[in-house]
Amino acid sequence: MEDVPWERRRAPRQIQDPAMLVDLRRCIGCHACSVACKVEHGVPLGEFRMRVRWMERPDDGRMAFLPVFDGESCDYGRDRARFGLEPACVNACPTRALDLIEAKGAPAEAKPLERPGSTRADVLYLAHEPWQETKLNAGAALHPEDEDILYEQGPR
């Protein structure tokens, strides 16, 4: 019988030096990744291991979308890797904007956000713009009380 993808037996995924490659040219801000992460791991309300920020562009007032990953709680889907599966966020993304790769295989133009403490250094963004860093709060990139340009995430 013909193979169906979810029945495939897979070897555990082994990545020596993982990096999350985020292609911002493809991200549509849909939150499929962050919801999949929360459902997969039972993350309680008020906490996120990764989430998607909607930010107002300073140049034309349109939206830009920025998936951010928490340095402590996000382990890039170790639990799923045991079964040979990609991380929940990567699996969910409808435009394939996310990919977990070997850091050394990353395209040269992929860069981490440089704002200290705002996110992790092993998340590499394709096409991120410098203004996006200035709009992230230092320190608490995933806290619901963060300044979030578009959504009402709690008292300001």
Partner 1 sequence: MSGEWTRRELLKTAAKTAAVASSGPLLGCGTVPPAGVEPLATDAAALGPIDYARARAVPTVCFGCTTHCGVVGWVQDGRVRKLEGNPLDPNTQGGICGKANGLISATDSPERIVYPLRRSGPRGSGQWERASWDEALDDIAARLRALREAGTPEQFVFHYGRDKTKGFTKRFTDAFGTPHRLNRRSICSSNRRVPLMSFYGREFEWESQDFERTRMILNFGANPMEAHQGGLFTVKRIMDARVDGGAHMVSFEVRPSATASVSDEYFAIRPGTDGAVALAMGHVIVRDGLHDRAFWERWVNVPFDEIEAHLASHTPEWAAGLSGVPAADIERLARRFAEAAPACTTLSNRGSAKHYNGVQADRAIRLLDVLVGNVGRPGGFCLSSLRMWKERYGQWGLPRIVQPDPAPAGPRPWKPGTREFALLPEDVQQRVAAFPEAWQDQYFGELATPSEYPLSWLFYKMRVGQLVYPYIREGRQKVGAYFSFTLGASFGYPEANVAREVLLDESLIPFHVAIDISYGEQAALADYILPDATALERWDAHSTNNYGLRPYTAIRQPLVAPRGEARPVQIILRDLARRIGGGMERHFDFEDLEDYYREWYREVPMEWEELKRRGIWTDPARPLDHELYEREIPAEELAGAEVDPETGRIEVVSKGRRRTIGVERDGKALRGFPTPSGLIQVRDELFPQAAALTGLSLDDVNAQPLPSWGPVPDHEGLPDDRFVLTTFKWNVHTQGRSMSWKHQAEIVHTNPVFMNAGTAARLGIRDGDEVELTVERPSHMAEKEGETVGTFTQRVRLLEGLHEKVVCVSHHMGHWEQGSVARADAARPSPARVGFGSDPASKDPDFDEPVWWSEARGGPGNGRALNDALPINPTPLVGGQSWFDNVVSIRKLG
Give least dist CB 75 to partner 1, A: 12
Binding-site residue total for ligand SF4 (CB under 6 A)? 15
Question: Cβ distance 85 to 74 under 8 Å?
Answer: no
Give the nearest distance from C-beta 133 to ligand SF4 in angstroms.
18
**Residue 103 contacts partner 1 per CB under 8 A:** no
* Structure-block tokens of residue 129: 């713009």
DSSP-based three-state secondary structure for 51: strand
Q: Does 156 bind partner 1 (CB under 8 A)?
A: yes
The CA-atom distances, in angstroms, between 147 and each of 3, 39, 84, 86 are 47, 24, 37, 31
Which residue, 116 or 118, is less far from ligand SF4 as judged by CB? 118
**Binding partner of 146, given ligand SF4, partner 1, none, CB within 5-8 angstroms per partner class:** partner 1
19 versus 33: smaller Cβ distance to ligand SF4: 33
Q: How far is the CB of 19 from partner 1 (least distance, A)?
A: 20
Among 17, 75, 83, 116, binds partner 1 (CB under 8 A): 83
Contacts 24+ apart (CB under 8 A), 50-53: 50/74, 50/89, 50/142, 51/142, 52/27, 53/136, 53/148, 53/149
Structure tokens at 14: 């082994």
The C-alpha R_g of the chain, in whole angstroms, comes to: 16
> What residues make contact with ligand SF4 under the rule CB under 6 A?
27-33, 52, 65, 67, 92-93, 95, 97-98
